[in-house]
Amino acid sequence: MDTVELRDLLAAERAGWDALCSSTGGAYYRDLMTREAVMVLVDGSVLDRDAVAASLDGVPPWDEYELDDLRRVAIGPDAAALTYRGTARRSGSEPAFTARMTSVYTIDGDRLRPALYQQTALSD
């Protein structure tokens, strides 16, 4: 992998969401996130890789998700950001979770690894 293209970013992001839909998000992100990576969540909390993995272990899965308004932002030859509007739903009475999301990925060998993820809540 020489550059980070939109299709690569989208495939990586969908793989993460698919893991969240199959209740394997903790193991997925524990393995994939860079050592220094953080997630900045909608409530303002900042979680490192270990905290992210622990927070996702045992969480109810999302039933479905949608990613739209996709945009790639070049950062350098080995990194890029994907920003998008994400909507995810769980069965039951919970309303859909909708947020503007940004994931920064870096190339590590032949893999894209998330280095930063950030959420900003959107109202319906």
pLDDT (tens digit per residue) in 13-46: 999 999 999 999 999 999 999 999 999 999 999 9
Helix (H, G, I), strand (E, B) or coil at 87: strand
pLDDT (tens digit per residue) in 54-105: 999 888 999 999 999 999 999 998 999 999 999 999 988 678 899 999 999 9
Domain boundaries, the chain: 6-121
Kindly report whether the global pTM for this prediction surpasses the value 0.85: yes
- Model pLDDT, residue 9: 97
Confidence of residue 50 (pLDDT cuts 50, 70, 90): very high
**Residue recorded with tokens 């998000």:** 25
Is the domain defined by 6-121 classed in CATH 3.10.450.50? yes
Nearest to residue 51, comparing CAs of 70, 36, 67?
A: 36
Nearest to residue 38, comparing CAs of 98, 103, 106?
A: 103
Confidence of residue 122 (pLDDT cuts 50, 70, 90): confident
What DSSP designation does 95 have? P
Sign of the CA dihedral with 72 first, then 74, 75, and 78 last: positive
Nearest to residue 15, comparing CAs of 25, 5, 6?
A: 25
